[in-house]
Each structure stands twice: as C-alpha cells, then as structure tokens.
C-alpha cells in the first residue's frame, strides 16, 4: 500500500462484529482488521490462517477434560464427546457451543464415521469444514480441542429410549427398551442404574468364554481340598456371582435392591401388559 493511500478506519463496531463472528479476542480482532485494511471478510481469513497455525502448535497437547452430549429426533440419536486440556475451557460457552453445533449437524447429516464428519462443510458456515471450525475454536480458547468420538444411533420403531446425563455431562448413559414406545421413564431409571453400577455386559450370553473360564479357574483354586461333591456347586455359585456383578440384568437394581434389573423390567412389563427387554445400552464416560 502506498503512503498516500487512504486507510479505512477500524471502528469498535467492526471489532465487535468480527469477535461475534469468530469468537476471537478483541485485540486479535483489531490486529486482523488492520492487516486486512478494514475488510471484514479478509480479516476473517487472516484469523482462520492464524487459527490453523495456532491449532498446529496446540494439536499435540493432552486433552484430559471434556463433555459428552446426546441429542435425538424421531428417528435417530447422536452421542458425541469433545475434549480440552482444562475443565476451565470445558465449562466455557464457546466450547459447549462447539459440541452442541457438532451434535446438531451430525443429527442431520448422519455421517458414517468421525473422519467423514470432520470433513463435512460446517452447517453455519459452508466455506469451512467442521475440522476447520474446530481450529477456530482452538484459536479462540487457546487450548487443544478434540472431537474424540461420535456415534449415530438409529432408533427402532417399537423401542423406548432413556437418556441420563451425570456430573454435568462427564458421564452419559443411553438405554433402549424394546417392546414399547411408552417406557421412556423405565429406560431412564435403568440408565441411572448403569451410571452408578457400570455393568460391562447386558446379559450372561455376552460375557466372553475366556472370562468365564478365568473365573472358574480362580474359583476352583479357592476350593481345593473341599469334598468333590460340593466343589462344582461352589464353583457354579462363584461364577454366577461374577456374572451377576458384570451383567446389567443380573445386578441388584439400585433404586430397589430387593430385585434385580431383570426383575424390575419384568414389573414394568406386567404393568404395561407388554413384553419388554433391554435391547442395548451405551455408557460413555469422558476419557474412557
């Protein structure tokens, strides 16, 4: 630019507008506007370029903190986890907005993978991808931000779904009950149970045979020397105690320990006059 060329005045309103559109601090917005000679769109490009460079520096930092969000419509459900370096940033509205935007977009686009989703045009600004939007959030917040995992769940027409979010989104559980579309309350109750009791499997038939064999070996070593006629009964009892502990349906129901989760579900089915079963569950905890 020649010395005699007119320089467009950088006003407070321009800085505010750029901040509103990018989420970047006032000082950096002003610097970008000066570099872009007052052109707002060029200033956004300046910040994007800086954002990409900044993101590259922060990409290797460990992201231990995070949030999990679940959203649904009539036919699908999306569960997603985003991470940052500190809980301070995780609680920032910009970070929460990033995760909310990702979940809302995925619910519409239904990507086949996280990699595919990252390359989609960002729904609120088609000129950038979702991953480039993430880089802008990194630039705004000054920490490594990662969209760690994303799952699209197709709803079944004769199922009820319960969602339970615990610890401010650090732990989210989703439960699907097959047999009725009116059992959301029961599904949520079971989701709360899963949050507390951390079952590894739905039912005994899902427990790997190696795990059963390992428990049997341990049990038999504990009853060495006992009469042969009672060894098998003791071992069988110990294996059942193990499977009851790790399988959802065999666990004591946290809201009423006089019954198992399977028995609680049976009581719900009896009230509804229908056959109900837990078809699936998802237990997501930040970092797991």
pLDDT in tens, 102-137: 999 999 999 999 999 999 999 999 999 999 999 999
Q: Is the Cβ–Cβ distance between 251 and 261 less than 8 Å?
A: yes
Domains of the chain: 12-58 (1.10.8.10), 65-155 (3.30.479.20), 158-207+247-288 (3.30.479.20), 209-245 (no CATH)
Average pLDDT, the chain: 91
pLDDT for residue 218: 86
Provide the pLDDT confidence category of residue 8 given band limits of 50, 70 and 90: confident
- Cβ–Cβ contacts within 10 Å for residue 205, how many? 8
Summarize pLDDT for 233-274 with one digit per residue, the tens: 999 999 999 999 999 999 999 999 999 999 999 999 999 999
Tens of pLDDT, residue by residue over 195-228, are 999 999 999 999 999 999 988 988 888 888 888 8
Which range is least confidently modeled, 17-31, 62-76, 255-269? 17-31
Beta bridge partners of 171: 166, 285
Distance between alpha carbon 246 and the CA centroid of its chain, in Å?
Answer: 22
Q: Are 23 and 136 in contact (CB under 8 A)?
A: yes
């Amino acid at each position: 630019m020649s010395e005699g060329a007119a320089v467009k005045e950088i006003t407070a309103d321009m800085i505010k507008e750029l901040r509103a559109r990018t989420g970047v601090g006032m000082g950096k917005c002003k610097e970008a506007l000066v570099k872009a000679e007052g052109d707002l769109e060029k200033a956004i490009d300046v910040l994007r370029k800086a954002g990409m460079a900044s993101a590259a520096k922060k990409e290797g930092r460990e992201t231990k903190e995070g949030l999990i969000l679940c959203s649904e419509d009539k036919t699908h459900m999306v569960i997603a986890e985003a991470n940052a370096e500190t809980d301070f940033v995780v609680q920032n509205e910009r970070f929460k907005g990033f995760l909310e935007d990702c979940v809302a977009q995925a619910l519409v686009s239904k990507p086949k993978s996280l990699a595919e989703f990252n390359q989609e045009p960002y729904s609120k600004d088609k000129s950038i991808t979702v991953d480039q939007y993430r880089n802008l959030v990194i630039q705004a917040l000054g920490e490594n931000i990662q969209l760690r995992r994303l799952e699209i769940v197709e709803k079944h027409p004769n199922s009820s779904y319960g969602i339970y979010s615990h610890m401010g989104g650090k732990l989210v559980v989703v439960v699907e009950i097959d047999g009725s579309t009116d059992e959301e309350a029961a599904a949520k109750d079971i989701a709360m149970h899963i949050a507390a009791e951390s079952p590894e499997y739905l039912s005994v038939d899902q427990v790997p045979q190696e795990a059963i064999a390992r428990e049997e070996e341990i049990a038999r070593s504990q009853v060495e020397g006992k009469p042969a006629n009672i060894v098998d009964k003791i071992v069988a009892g110990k294996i059942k105690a193990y499977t009851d502990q790790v399988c959802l349906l065999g666990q004591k129901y946290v809201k009423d320990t006089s019954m198992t989760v399977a028995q609680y579900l049976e009581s719900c089915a009896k009230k509804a006059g229908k056959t109900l079963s837990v078809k699936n569950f998802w237990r997501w905890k930040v970092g797991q």
